[in-house]
Amino acid sequence: MSEWLKKHVKSLEGKEEVVINVKFFDELLKRLGKVMAEFYKGNYEVGIEELSKLGEEIYSYYKTLIDDGENVNG
């Protein structure tokens, strides 16, 4: 798990109203880092394609939570 995510998950401990899928967001951050690396290398088409996939997955994740009646904060 990324250090950034570990720090933020620790700060959420004991707060019942916060619902987070740590594994999903850890993977998301890793993949976002790879997308940014592609942009940095000048591989804009690859970066845009991967960013689009990430956007679809984020939308699908929250859509599922909402459809299942889960409480989504934020």
Kindly report, residue by residue over 6-53, the tens digit of the pLDDT. 666 666 666 655 556 778 888 888 889 989 998 899 999 988 998 899
Show the tokens assigned to 6. Answer: 């570990």
Instruction: Rank 52-56, 58-62, 70-74 by mean pLDDT and report only the highest.
Output: 52-56
Using only C-alpha atoms, the chain has a radius of gyration, in whole angstroms, of: 15
Which of 39, 57, 60 is closest to 48 using CA atoms? 39
pLDDT at 42: 93
Question: Is 70 or 50 the better-scoring residue by pLDDT?
Answer: 50
At CA 48, angle to CA 43 and CA 50, rounded to 5? Answer: 95
- pLDDT score of 3 more than 90: no
Query: In this predicted model, which residue has the larger pLDDT, 68 or 52?
Result: 52
End-to-end CA distance of the chain: 22
Choose among 28, 46, 30: nearest CA to 38: 46
